[in-house]
Amino acid sequence: MFLSLSLFLASLWCKSILAGIMPLDDGTVSLTPSGLLPDERENDPNIAFQSTVGAHIIRPEASPALGIANHLGNRIFESRHVRIWYFSLPGEDSSWLYLDKSSGQINCRWTDVQRMPDGTSTRKTVQLYIGPEGVSEIPDRKLGRFTSIIEDMSETHLLYDRDLRRFFRLDLRKRTITKGPQLLKDDLHKPADIGILAKNRTILDLYWQPPAMKKSQDDEGRVSYPPPPLIREGYSTYQPDRYVLVLDESGRIDLLDTETLEFAGTAGYLPAPQTLFHSKERVTPDDLLAYRVIPVALKEDHKYRGMIAAAVSREGTALTLAVFDEKGVLINSRQTMGKSSGDYRDVPSSSTFFFGAPWAPVMTIGKFALENLHPPILSLASYFTASTFEAGSGHRALFLLPNSFIGMNGRDARQSFLEKLLSAFLLMGPSIILALWLNWRVGKDAALVGLSRKARRWWMLGTIAFGLAAYITYRLSRPKVTLVTCANCGHPRRPDMDKCHRCASQWHVPDLTPPPWRVLDSAREN
Amino acid sequence: MLALIKREIQDHLVYFIAALASSAALIALLSTAAFHFERPGGDLFIGLTIPLIVILVIVFSAMGVTQMYLDRNRRISAFLSTLPVTRSRILTAKIITGVLAILIVLLPVTIAAVALRHLLLPSIPVFANLITGFVTTTFLMLFACYCLGLLTGWTASKITPTFGALGLNLILFSLIIVKGFGPEIRLLLVLVIAACLIRTWHKFTSTSL
The domain boundary, picked from A350, A380, A409, lies at: A350
CA diameter of chain B: 62
> Closest Cα partner for A95 from A130, A60, A125?
A125
> If you average pLDDT over each of A92-101, A144-153, B141-150, which comes out highest?
B141-150
> Closest Cα partner for A57 from A270, A279, A316, A309?
A316
What's the confidence (pLDDT) of residue A517? Answer: 75
Q: Quote the CA–CA distance of A472 and A459 in Å, as a whole number.
A: 11
Average pLDDT over residues A202-230: 71
A268 domain residue, yes or no = yes
> Closest Cα partner for A295 from A287, A306, A284?
A306
Burial of A309 (0-12, 13-18, 19+ CB in 10 A): buried
Which residues from B are below 8 Å from A398, CB to CB? 178-179, 188
Q: Apex CA B199: angle with CA A492 and CA B7, to 5°?
A: 120
Cβ proximity of B177 and A67 under 8 Å: yes
Same domain, A215 and A128: no
Same domain, A274 and A420: no
What's the confidence (pLDDT) of residue A82? Answer: 46
Owning domain of residue A379: 357-427
What's the confidence (pLDDT) of residue A267? Answer: 92
Same domain, A469 and A486: no
Average pLDDT over residues B43-72: 84
Q: Quote the CA–CA distance of B182 and B171 in Å, as a whole number.
A: 18
A438 domain residue, yes or no = yes
Same domain, A168 and A267: no
Same domain, A370 and A304: no
Q: Where are the beta strands (DSSP E) in A94-161?
A: 95-100, 105-115, 121-131, 134-136, 149-151, 158-161
- ipTM surpassing 0.90: no
pTM: 0.82
Angle between helix axes B128-153 and B44-74 (nearest 10 degrees) is 30
A58 domain residue, yes or no = yes
Q: Quote the CA–CA distance of A499 and B10 in Å, as a whole number.
A: 49
Burial of A447 (0-12, 13-18, 19+ CB in 10 A): middle
- Residue ranges of alpha helices (H) inside chain B are 2-11, 13-35, 44-74, 76-80, 87-120, 128-153, 159, 165-179, 183-206
Same domain, A103 and A144: yes
Residue B148 DSSP label:
H
Residue of A nearest to B185 (CA): A67
Q: What is the pLDDT of residues A417-445, one digit of tens each?
A: 888 888 888 888 999 999 999 999 999 98
Average pLDDT over residues A470-491: 82
Same domain, A257 and A288: yes
The domain boundary, picked from A480, A495, A511, lies at: A480
Q: Is the pLDDT of residue A76 over 60?
A: no
The alpha carbon of residue B107 is apart from the nearest alpha carbon of chain A, in Å, by 23
What's the confidence (pLDDT) of residue A215? Answer: 65
Residues of chain B numbered 143-182 and touching chain A (CB < 8 Å): 168, 171-172, 174-182
Average pLDDT over residues A350-354: 81
Q: Do A84 and B192 touch (CB under 8 A)?
A: no
Q: Do B122 and A96 touch (CB under 8 A)?
A: yes
Average pLDDT over residues B81-97: 85
Burial per residue of B25-35, b for 16 or more beta-carbon CB atoms within 10 angstroms, e otherwise? bbbebbbebbe
Which of B179, B184, B191, B206 to mutate against chain A (most A CBs within 10 Å)?
B179
Q: Quote the CA–CA distance of A93 and B188 in Å, as a whole number.
A: 43
Same domain, A265 and A338: yes
Q: Is the pLDDT of residue A116 over 90?
A: no
Q: What is the pLDDT of residues B5-30, one digit of tens each?
A: 888 888 888 999 999 999 999 898 88
**Is A434 an 8 Å CB contact of chain B?**
no
Number of domains comprising chain A: 5
Same domain, A91 and A207: no
**Is A111 an 8 Å CB contact of chain B?**
no
Q: Is the pLDDT of residue A291 over 90?
A: yes
The domain boundary, picked from A325, A350, A375, lies at: A350
Same domain, A381 and A493: no
